[in-house]
Amino acid sequence: MSEIIAQATVTAPPEGQALLTARADGAVVRMNKRLGDPVGAGETVALLESRDAAAFVADRNAAAARAQAARAAANREQRLFNARITARQDLEAAVAARQTAEAELQRANAAVSAAGVTGGGRYLAVRSPISGRITEVDTQLGAYVSAGAELFNVSNPNRIQIDAAVPATDAQRIRPGTA
pLDDT digits (tens, 9 = 90+) for 53-112: 989 999 999 999 999 999 999 999 999 989 989 899 999 999 999 999 999 999 999 999
DSSP state of 77: H
Whether residue 1 has pLDDT greater than 70: no
Q: CA-CA distance, 131 to 121, in Å (whole number)? A: 26
Q: CA-CA distance, 77 to 88, in Å (whole number)? A: 9
Look at residue 90 and give its three-state secondary structure: helix
DSSP state of 126: E
How do the domains of the chain map onto residue ranges? 7-171
CATH number of 7-171: 2.40.50.100
- As a whole number, mean pLDDT of residues 154-173 equals 83
**Beta carbons of 20 and 154 less than 8 angstroms apart:** yes
Residues of the chain by 3-state class (helix, strand, coil), percent to 5:
35, 30, 35
Taking only the tens place, the pLDDT of each residue in 35-58 is 999 999 999 999 999 988 989 999
Look at residue 176 and give its three-state secondary structure: coil
% of residues, the chain, pLDDT over 70 = 99
